[in-house]
Structure 1
Amino acid sequence: MEVTTLSFTNLHNHGELFANMFRARHRTFIVQNKWDLPEADGMEFDQYDTPASRWVAVHDGGDVLAGVRLTPTTHRCGIYSYMIRDAQRGLLASIPSNLLYQEAPVAPHIWESSRVFVADHVPANLRLRVQMQLIHEMVVSARSFGASMVLGLIPEHSPRLARRVGLDCVPAGPVLDIEGSRSVCVNINMATKMH
């Protein structure tokens, strides 16, 4: 099992991994969760998959087991900034605008975590290991970009896992039903993890 952080500047070094991650997202979010999202050639993508973002993939050869997208909260592309902020601003019909207790932050030290998934074919006896690899690489990558905080929209029970692996993870909004999944925005403070 390997973990790779992908960007537009390095994806050419990783063969089909980038496309395979979008294929795994398609299987997770469109096929399994039945979300109405943009797709092409069996890949799921959206307006936040830009050169400003980074993608963490846990993989075994070309098989993507888990992934997450990281986007700077300072990024803008047309009318869009980052998913959580745009939802709060009412730009995304599928995500309620009341997902945060406070105004969505825009700061160079805060990055957004989105499109978090673990593939459904990952066996139960490997899921925790895969999740821990994903969280570890997300923290390492975000810190390397200068982030001391990550704001994420994650499944309702994920904060418990984050705390189990030592992340300072606190709710930043109410638990909401988003397209049939109970999710919550969280702040992950990584300052305590910076050595």
Structure 2
Amino acid sequence: MLATTLSFENMHQHGELMVNLLKARKQSFIVQNNWDLPEAEGMEYDQYDTPASRWIAVHEGDSILAGIRLTPTTAKCGMYTYMIRDAQRGMLDSIPSDLLNFEAPVDPDIWESSRVFVSHKVPAEQRTKVQTQLMMKLIETSRELNAREVLGLVPAVWSRWIGRLGLVAEPAGPVMLIDGARVQVAKMDLNSFPH
């Protein structure tokens, strides 16, 4: 099992990995969760999949086990910034504007994590191992990007698996029901983990 951080600069070095990640996102978010999201050629994508973002894929060969997207809170593409901030600004019909307990930051040291998923194909006995790999790569990649904090719109069960992994995060907003899924914004201070 490998964890790879993809960017517009390096995706050509990883064959079909980026395409497979977007196809796995479609399976997770559109097929399984029944979310109304953009798709093309079997891939899920949105306005936040830009050169400013990074994508982490946990995979065995070309088979995607889990994924996450990282976007700087300083991102700007047309009228869009990053998902949590745009939702707070009332720009996204599918996400309530009261998702955060504070004003969404615009700070080069804070990145957003979104589109977090573990494939339905991962057996229950392997889920913790896959989640650990995903979160360790998230921390490593975020530090390489000079982030000190990560905000994430994640499944509301995040506190259970974060604790199992020995990581620390805190709620940054209320638990919400979005398209049948319980989600919440969580905040992870990267300085709380040993290097």
1:14 matched residue in structure 2 = 14
**Percent of paired sites with the same residue:** 58
Maintained 8 Å contact 1:5/1:54: yes
2:141 matched residue in structure 1 = 141
**SS, match of residue 75 in structure 1:** coil
1:45 matched residue in structure 2 = 45
Structure 1 pair 164–125 and aligned structure 2 pair: CA distance change class (3 A): closer
**SS, match of residue 177 in structure 1:** strand
- The CA deviation at 1:166 is 2.7
| Superposed CA offset, 1:138-178 (max 9, x none) | 00000100001000001111122113323220000000001
Distance 1:82 1:144 in 2: 20
- The equivalences for 1:61-76 within 5 A come to 61-76=61-76
- Paired positions, count: 195
1:56 matched residue in structure 2 = 56
- The CA deviation at 1:123 is 0.8
Stretches of structure 2 that go unaligned for 5 or more consecutive residues are none
Counterpart residue identity of residue 57, structure 2: A
2:167 matched residue in structure 1 = 167
| Superposed CA offset, 1:91-122 (max 9, x none) | 00000000001100110110000000000011
- The equivalences for 1:144-159 within 5 A come to 144-159=144-159
2:105 matched residue in structure 1 = 105
Maintained 8 Å contact 1:24/1:119: yes
Distance 1:192 1:144 in 2: 16
1:130 matched residue in structure 2 = 130
TM-score by length of 1: 0.98
Distance 2:109 2:160 in 1: 24
Counterpart residue identity of residue 55, structure 1: W
- The CA deviation at 1:194 is 4.8
| Superposed CA offset, 1:35-78 (max 9, x none) | 00000000000000000000000001110010000000001000
Distance 1:164 1:145 in 2: 26
Structure 1 pair 23–116 and aligned structure 2 pair: CA distance change class (3 A): same
Stretches of structure 1 that go unaligned for 5 or more consecutive residues are none
2:29 matched residue in structure 1 = 29
TM-score by length of 2: 0.98
